[in-house]
A and B are shown apart, each in its own frame.
Chain A
Amino acid sequence: MNEPLNPCELEIDLFCKGLRIGQSCLLEKDGRVVSRTRAGLGSGLEIVIPGGLKDIWMNAPVEEDFVLDSPYILVKEGDHYKVRDDRSKHHYEVRIPEEPKWVRSFTSMGTPMHKVGVLQGTYLGIYISNSCSFWYHKPTLGCKFCTTGLNVGVNEMADKDIKDVVEVCWAAKEESGATFVHLNSGFAGKDLGLDNMAPYVAAIKEKVGLMVGVQVTPSPNLWKYDWLIDCGVDHFSFCYEFHNPDIFAELCPGKEQMLGQQAFFNALEYTAKKMGKGRVSGEIIAGVEPIEDTLRAIDYITGVGAFPTVCIFRPTIGADMEYVPPPKYEDMRHVMEYMWNACRKNDIPIGLAPNIEVSLIVNPDDARYLPKHDMAWKMYEGKLKLMRTMAAPLFKQELKRRNVKGNPHEYPEGSPEPVMPRTEAAEAIAREAGVGQAS
């Protein structure tokens, strides 16, 4: 590797190899708290790689054993941080985002704010309920790459109080300029994921004024998505992890047994149709299943009008897959370039919302550094720029407090009786809604 990497290439290589921390670094003073919360991906160091097209936020792996073999080391020279590549001797300037003051504050109920939510890039991530039921089965049905269940009672509070959540959202908006909060949760059982989220969503919309994303396991009761939209949801994401059904079944035993892969496709397609292009995402992990399956996943997700959020597999500490090696840079570069091209071909609007940088993944618009900057590239970039300008007033409106239409504590009048996943009734609902392309 003689040529220096561009910012996205560096991001990808750091995800694959990790970053050692040099003795000269003063991260306790200069950086954000490193904390394993949620599924474990956020256990790294938040860094910003500056670039001409855009700055890239990433959460670089620093804790895992494979990091000890990384050629990359973070060093501090004067007031500046650099990532040094010990192979090529290239130096890359990086910025270490400061820890916001609110992180060390307490809510009015006395809860440490860092135990309620964390900034991952520029958005606020809150794990509403950390008790994923898959972890409490015997034998465990937790996803093999995940460490969610290992954090409860150790690094994170199990269940979040709505008042605490609202206060942390306020702090993140006022002090850090956050525009987006992502609420997620493990498997709640009995199709309660969306029900549990509704009061939080409504409270954030009415009392704070942030864009709200929700990620829970898919509901077969597709009408519940309409209800959540009425309660204020701006974005849904569906973590189906692997496109290859055999790998999905093997590595996500809880999702396979309780929900089935098809349930993710049904909900993804239904919400993408309902909300329009670019408002819904399909989340997958690259670097475990064959690359061809990952590319198929990207084609499917973009084909239904959603955008792909592609995590590079990280063998996190404590996961069943801790000793599986991370993927190769060359493969991941190929995947990310393919992702950008798929978004372009399917006209997916990416990077429009203000100040949403997700540090755990290679964002679709991070990947704009990867393809050749030919006419197709320029046309798509030009279109996105125009759309950003046109959409700016809408986003500004969305960041104001507003009353929501839906009642978060009751299903809308006339709602059908909820059905359980993996039943004939659930399949009938999907058939009626005309979803299920992936099958």
Chain B
Amino acid sequence: MITNEDQPEVQERIAGFDEPLEKALLSAVRAHKNPFAVVRKGIDLEFLAKEPVQDRANRAMIKLFTVTDGPLRGRAAMFFYKKSQIPFSRDRFSYGAVVLPKDNLENDVFEPLLQFASKGFTPELRPKDLRRALTFTVPD
């Protein structure tokens, strides 16, 4: 479910994500049993997982983006990361990325990815196609 979809500025932002892949992700998040909030900033579609982990706020974030360099250029990918806890830090704490299939994007493609984020990126739930060392640049 999306926890902040009732807010007008979030609705406006979501309306701008009208590519088939973006729509598929939005639909998968809406249908998911655990809560996610749409991130209000940035060019790409991003969510913050809201399911608490070990009684603490979940810091897991997911970002849908297009690879712009290297041999996978042009492919869509999902980046998993946590934001720094320090207000001025430039760091994104990467947990890796999954390059999404070109076709047949059903909800079940996203399910393990969303579950991984819901549980705070616990190593036991790492998606099977997770690339932990990246050969491309993830845009800010």
Q: Which residues of B contact A135 (CB under 8 A)?
A: 132-133
Do A35 and B89 form a contact, CB below 8 Å, given A68-B56, A153-B138, A322-B123? Answer: yes
Q: Are A35 and B93 in contact, CB atoms less than 8 angstroms apart?
A: no
Q: Are B95 and A34 in contact, CB atoms less than 8 angstroms apart?
A: no
- Say which residue of B86, B90, B93, B96 sits within 8 Å of A45 (CB atoms): B86
- Say which residue of A34, A65, A149 sits within 8 Å of B89 (CB atoms): A34
Chain B CB within 8 A of A140 CB: yes
Q: Which residues of A contact B132 (CB under 8 A)?
A: 135, 140, 142, 149-150
Do A36 and B93 form a contact, CB below 8 Å, given A68-B56, A153-B134, A320-B123? Answer: yes
How distant is the Cα of A414 from the Cα of B95 in the complex, in angstroms? 47
Q: Are A63 and B86 in contact, CB atoms less than 8 angstroms apart?
A: yes
Chain A CB within 8 A of B92 CB: yes
A63's nearest neighbour on chain B, judged by CB, is B85
Q: Which residues of B contact A322 (CB under 8 A)?
A: 123
Q: Are B84 and A150 in contact, CB atoms less than 8 angstroms apart?
A: no
Q: Are B123 and A150 in contact, CB atoms less than 8 angstroms apart?
A: no
Chain A CB within 8 A of B17 CB: no
- Say which residue of A131, A140, A154 sits within 8 Å of B92 (CB atoms): A154
Say whether chain B's binding surface is mostly helix, strand, loop, or mixed: loop
A26's nearest neighbour on chain B, judged by CB, is B88
A316's nearest neighbour on chain B, judged by CB, is B93
Chain B CB within 8 A of A33 CB: yes
How distant is the Cα of A140 from the Cα of B87 in the complex, in angstroms? 32
CB distance from A253 to the nearest CB of B (A): 14
CB distance from B88 to the nearest CB of A (A): 3
Q: Are A62 and B85 in contact, CB atoms less than 8 angstroms apart?
A: yes
How distant is the Cα of A152 from the Cα of B59 in the complex, in angstroms? 21
Q: Are B93 and A317 in contact, CB atoms less than 8 angstroms apart?
A: yes
Q: Which residues of B contact A318 (CB under 8 A)?
A: 82, 93-95, 121
Do A35 and B91 form a contact, CB below 8 Å, given A135-B133, A154-B134, A154-B138? Answer: yes
Do A155 and B92 form a contact, CB below 8 Å, given A63-B86, A150-B133, A323-B122? Answer: yes
Chain A CB within 8 A of B104 CB: no
Q: Are A34 and B91 in contact, CB atoms less than 8 angstroms apart?
A: yes
- Say which residue of A21, A34, A152 sits within 8 Å of B134 (CB atoms): A152
Q: How many of chain B's residues have a CB under 8 angstroms from any CB in A?
A: 28
A29's nearest neighbour on chain B, judged by CB, is B88
Q: Are B93 and A34 in contact, CB atoms less than 8 angstroms apart?
A: no
Q: How many of chain A's residues have a CB under 8 angstroms from any CB in B?
A: 32
How distant is the Cα of A320 from the Cα of B95 in the complex, in angstroms? 10
CB distance from B97 to the nearest CB of A (A): 9
Q: Are B136 and A34 in contact, CB atoms less than 8 angstroms apart?
A: no
Q: Which residues of A contact B7 (CB under 8 A)?
A: none
Q: Which of B108-140 contact A (CB under 8 A)?
A: 121-123, 132-138
Q: Which residues of A contact B95 (CB under 8 A)?
A: 150, 318
Do A317 and B138 form a contact, CB below 8 Å, given A28-B87, A33-B89? Answer: no
A21's nearest neighbour on chain B, judged by CB, is B86
Q: Are B90 and A149 in contact, CB atoms less than 8 angstroms apart?
A: no
How distant is the Cα of A350 from the Cα of B106 in the complex, in angstroms? 61
Q: Which residues of B contact A155 (CB under 8 A)?
A: 90-92, 94
- Say which residue of A35, A132, A150, A153 sits within 8 Å of B137 (CB atoms): A153
Chain B CB within 8 A of A43 CB: yes
A132's nearest neighbour on chain B, judged by CB, is B133
Chain B CB within 8 A of A27 CB: yes
Q: Are B88 and A27 in contact, CB atoms less than 8 angstroms apart?
A: yes
Q: Which residues of B contact A45 (CB under 8 A)?
A: 86
A44's nearest neighbour on chain B, judged by CB, is B86
Q: Are A63 and B84 in contact, CB atoms less than 8 angstroms apart?
A: yes
Task: Name, among A21, A27, A35, A36, the residue most crowded by chain B CB atoms within 10 Å (CB to CB).
Answer: A36
Q: Which residues of A contact B123 (CB under 8 A)?
A: 320, 322-323
A36's nearest neighbour on chain B, judged by CB, is B91
- Say which residue of B88, B91, B134, B137 sits within 8 Å of A43 (CB atoms): B91
**A53-96 interface code vs B (CB 8 A; 1 in, 0 out):** 00000000011010110000000000000000000000000000
Offer 14 A-B interface pairs, CB within 8 angstroms, sorted by A.
A28-B87, A34-B84, A34-B88, A36-B91, A43-B91, A45-B86, A65-B59, A68-B56, A150-B133, A153-B136, A154-B138, A317-B82, A318-B82, A318-B121
- Residues of A bordering B, CB below 8 Å: 21, 27-28, 33-36, 43, 45, 62-63, 65, 67-68, 131-132, 135-136, 140, 142, 149-155, 317-318, 320, 322-323
Identify 14 new A-B residue pairs, CB closer than 8 A, beyond the known A45-B86, A150-B133, A154-B134. A33-B89, A33-B90, A34-B89, A35-B91, A43-B91, A62-B85, A135-B133, A142-B132, A152-B133, A152-B134, A153-B135, A153-B137, A154-B137, A154-B138
